[in-house]
């Protein structure tokens, strides 16, 4: 049946495509296919055994027989696997049922148990691949024009050289358009060809040529006529159509495979041809999160707790004529707990919580955003009471009418319009659906129509936590950790206190004060927090860490506690101590230590004197931030040195305080200049900060003589215009005044460091030897700082500890 080389090659090619699925192991694949793979690949690549001409019917029959043979081989292999002792072929009934009801194998394919060789979708892919390997090469071969350009000749040349010659076997007229010349001895080899106008003209000219040359009729060449499908016919489009069909089959297979595990609906997955249907919002019911899980943010909780009352008992307000607010927008820096606060509202209210992201409404297709807004509110209206939470709403809520008329901008505005209508318009949501949203941008960067009363009635600003709030957040995140025992903590404190006393140093954190009682410790803990740790240990650890982390948000604090636990596990310790938590603090602030970064001795010396210059200037200037630690161990991606300061949390800064900050930033650069006589690139980040402070003083804050009390935003900041809103003369004045400020600070810094050159040298040498200097080491080297720092570091200043020991106002406890 499969004796011809063409048929054998076709069968082997198809078998090669499905070999990995037909054969149960790689070893069996090698045994059965190794002798054929090279032959198949060579045959298909060079088309050496595919006949030059096949009729469409023969081509179709060849492909179908090839595929049928491979399918039969698959069934035989499967039957042999199910019953190794049976050599019988599967019955016709089984073959017919192969497309019937399968198990889990696919859509109508596979075995009864769904574990067959091919399921329905796999068979589709197999047939598509087989069609590509067999039908496309054969069709390509069939449609190729075998008339090579170098074989072309002319009628005149043929008449003069080959007409009547015994070397010519026959002439073949193809489609009445050209004549093929086949030579004797090789009847299958095409030697030359030439074009003719039509069959009648060719016959007439050929007969005239015979007569003119006196060639007898017995020597006239045999002439045959044939019709062929030209390459520019139907078959030429078969490869393109086939590849498109394969793509659609694969796309359908992938789409069906996604439907079982997606999030788009009952079947999962998103239909790419139904773009207006967004994936269903995540509906969370019976949330276990409450206000007890939100540490700090007392004012924000107080303001948002009214929404809980609206949802639980709306009649209490409506009977007085009050309207339930439509929603609130939470504004604040990243990591301050906006999403957690929104979940707490839903958890306390015991209502469904529908959460989406602003970017879910943004697509490349027109009309998708508004459709998804309507779909979201339609889903919300199915619940009697619920909360819609839109995270990062600034993705669709930027101000309209900014003069940018791009298609994407128009689509975003249409999405915003749909949201405005749903919240307070003709299509206003009925029932008790409250919309909460969060954003990191300033209110002036959101559309004013969205922020007006009737839509987002309240704007709740969530700022970075202050000292008392950080203390509460640290207690919340330290409670689940396995901390040191009270005895171990007190032993570490005694050891440290004795060492400092021997050195004559007053410890910043051992100001004489009484520890809170057990009842006071419980009152100072966040509400409903259960812990197996000693409350005094939690309080002491949280007190010190809160003091060391100005500017940290809730996410940073959670990260510090988690990193502390990871460092403890890495060091194979049994409990988390303060040392591990302080290491975690250093890692969060400065990045991971890069001890693998190799610096030359000269580079280390430059870095040491640079950091020593910063530290000495800050130590002897009154309004500079207190120093806590210096290190010349590289951290992060670029920092070669690292210094930790303890800034005082103030709401305003004076010109004198800003000048001291500039001097501290210039300290490293001036120290390099004094001790090495040249400058380096190590101060690049310092100079950027100096430039920003100086230009802010003159352009935004008008802190210079004759400033005129005008304020202009810096280029690149929010509110800055494309064109400067001031003249070139004013810009030149800004440049001059900023330069004067920096020059004055530079001179002041140089005078101080020249006076304290010995102290700089001692600090730098200690850094080169030990790589790290703590505050205690610095006091031993340089002496105590001669200022009341306002952060609890001086015996005359204990306001910080009084604030730490006062209970935090929590409206949730009052309720």
The catalytic site residues sit at 611
Q: 551's torsion region: left (phi>0), alpha (psi -120 to 50) or beta?
A: left
The HSE-up count of residue 678 (CA atoms within 13 Å, CB side) is: 3
b/e per residue, 257-288, with b = 16+ CB within 10 A? Answer: eeeeeeebeeeebbeeeebeebbebeebeebe
Closest among 362, 355, 426 to 397, alpha carbons compared = 362
State how far the Cα of 104 lies from the Cα of 113, in Å rounded to an integer: 7
DSSP code, position 698:
I
Residue for token pair 């204990």? 798
DSSP code, position 436:
E
Residue 13 CB coordination number (10 Å): 23
Q: How far from the centroid of its chain's Cα atoms is residue 603's Cα?
A: 37
State how far the Cα of 250 lies from the Cα of 248, in Å rounded to an integer: 5
Closest among 450, 616, 477 to 545, alpha carbons compared = 477
Q: Which residues pair with 179 in a beta bridge?
A: 173, 194
Closest among 373, 473, 482, 354 to 423, alpha carbons compared = 373
Three-point CA angle 634, 635, 639, nearest 5°? 75
> For the chain, what's the residue count?
815
State how far the Cα of 543 lies from the Cα of 468, in Å rounded to an integer: 9
Residue for token pair 């309720």? 815
* Token pair recorded at residue 419: 């949201």
DSSP code, position 430:
P
DSSP line for 295-329: -S-HHHHHHHHHHHHHHH-THHHHTTTPPPP-EEE
Residue 582 CB coordination number (10 Å): 21
Q: How far apart are the first and last CA of the chain?
A: 89
Closest among 532, 556, 555, 432 to 481, alpha carbons compared = 532
* Token pair recorded at residue 38: 């090279």
Answer yes or no: are the C-beta atoms of 405 and 369 closer than 8 Å.
no
State how far the Cα of 275 lies from the Cα of 705, in Å rounded to an integer: 61
DSSP code, position 609:
H
Q: How far from the centroid of its chain's Cα atoms is residue 228's Cα?
A: 57
């Amino acid at each position: 049946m499969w004796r011809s080389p063409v048929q054998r090659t076709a069968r082997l090619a198809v078998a090669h495509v499905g070999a990995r699925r037909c054969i149960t192991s790689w070893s069996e694949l090698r045994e059965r296919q190794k002798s054929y793979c090279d032959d198949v690949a060579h045959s298909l690549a060079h088309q050496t055994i595919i006949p030059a001409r096949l009729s469409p019917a023969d081509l179709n029959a060849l492909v179908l027989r090839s595929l049928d043979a491979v399918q039969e081989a698959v069934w035989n292999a499967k039957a042999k696997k199910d019953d190794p002792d049976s050599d019988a072929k599967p019955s016709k009934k089984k073959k017919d049922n192969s497309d019937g009801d399968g198990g889990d194998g696919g859509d109508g394919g596979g075995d009864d148990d769904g574990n067959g060789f091919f399921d329905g979708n796999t068979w589709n892919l197999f047939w598509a691949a087989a069609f590509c390997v067999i039908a496309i090469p054969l069709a390509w071969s069939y449609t190729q024009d075998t008339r090579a350009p170098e074989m072309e000749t002319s009628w005149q040349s043929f008449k003069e050289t080959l007409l009547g010659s015994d070397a010519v076997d026959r002439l073949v007229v193809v489609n009445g358009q050209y004549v093929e010349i086949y030579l004797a001895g090789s009847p299958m080899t095409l030697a030359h060809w030439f074009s003719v106008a039509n069959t009648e003209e060719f016959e007439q000219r050929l007969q005239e040529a015979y007569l003119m040359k006196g060639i007898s009729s017995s020597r006239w060449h045999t002439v045959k006529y044939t019709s062929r499908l030209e390459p520019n016919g139907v078959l030429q489009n078969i490869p393109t159509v086939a590849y498109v069909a394969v793509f659609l089959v694969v796309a359908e297979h992938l789409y069906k495979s996604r439907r079982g595990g997606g999030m788009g609906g009952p079947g999962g997955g998103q239909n790419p041809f139904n773009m207006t249907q967004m994936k269903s919002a995540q509906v969370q019911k019976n949330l276990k999160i409450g206000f007890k899980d939100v540490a700090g943010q007392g004012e924000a909780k107080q303001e948002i707790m009214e929404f809980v009352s609206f949802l639980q008992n709306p009649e209490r307000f409506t009977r007085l004529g009050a309207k339930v607010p439509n929603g609130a927008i939470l504004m604040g820096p990243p990591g301050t707990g906006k999403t957690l606060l929104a979940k707490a509202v839903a958890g306390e209210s015991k209502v469904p919580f529908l959460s989406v992201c602003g970017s879910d409404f943004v697509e490349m297709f027109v009309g998708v955003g508004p459709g998804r807004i309507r779909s979201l509110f339609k889903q919300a209206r199915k619940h009697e009471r619920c909360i819609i939470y839109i995270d990062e709403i600034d993705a669709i809520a930027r101000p309209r009418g900014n003069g940018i008329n791009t298609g994407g901008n128009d689509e975003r505005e249409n999405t915003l319009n749909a949201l405005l209508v749903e919240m307070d318009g003709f299509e206003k949501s009925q029932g008790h659906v409250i919309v909460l949203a969060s954003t990191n941008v300033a209110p002036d960067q959101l559309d004013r129509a969205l922020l007006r009363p009737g839509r987002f009635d309240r704007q709740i600003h969530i700022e970075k936590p202050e000292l008392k709030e950080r203390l509460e957040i640290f207690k919340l995140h330290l409670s689940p950790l396995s901390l040191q025992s009270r005895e171990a903590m007190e032993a570490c404190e005694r050891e440290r206190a004795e060492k400092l006393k021997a050195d004559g140093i007053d410890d910043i954190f051992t100001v004489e004060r009484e520890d809170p009682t057990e009842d006071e410790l419980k009152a100072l803990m966040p509400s409903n927090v259960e812990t197996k740790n000693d409350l005094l240990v939690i309080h002491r650890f949280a007190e010190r860490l809160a003091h060391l982390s100005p500017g940290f948000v809730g996410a940073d604090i959670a990260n510090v506690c988690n990193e502390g636990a990871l460092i403890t596990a890495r060091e194979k310790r049994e409990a988390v101590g303060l040392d591990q938590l302080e290491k975690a603090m250093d890692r969060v602030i400065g990045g991971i230590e890069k001890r693998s970064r190799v610096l030359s001795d000269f580079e280390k010396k430059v870095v040491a004197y640079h950091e020593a210059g910063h530290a000495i200037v800050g130590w002897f200037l009154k309004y500079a931030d207190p120093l806590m630690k210096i290190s010349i161990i590289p951290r992060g991606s670029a920092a070669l040195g690292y210094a930790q300061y303890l800034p005082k949390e103030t709401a305003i800064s004076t010109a004198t305080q800003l000048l001291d900050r500039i001097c501290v930033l210039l300290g490293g650069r001036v120290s390099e200049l004094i001790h090495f006589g040249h400058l380096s690139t190590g101060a690049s980040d310092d100079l950027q900060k100096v430039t920003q402070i100086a230009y802010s003083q003159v352009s935004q804050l008008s802190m210079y003589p004759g400033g005129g009390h005008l304020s202009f935003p810096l280029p690149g900041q929010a509110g800055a215009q494309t064109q400067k809103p001031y003249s070139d003369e004013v810009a030149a004045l800004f440049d001059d005044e900023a330069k004067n400020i920096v020059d004055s600070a530079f001179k002041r810094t140089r005078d101080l460091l020249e006076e304290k050159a010995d102290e700089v040298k001692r600090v730098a040498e200690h850094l080169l030897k030990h790589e790290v200097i703590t505050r205690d080491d610095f006091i031993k080297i340089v002496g105590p700082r001669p200022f009341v720092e306002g952060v609890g570091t001086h015996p005359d200043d204990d306001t910080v500890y009084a604030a730490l020991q006062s209970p935090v106002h929590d409206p949730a406890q009052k309720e």
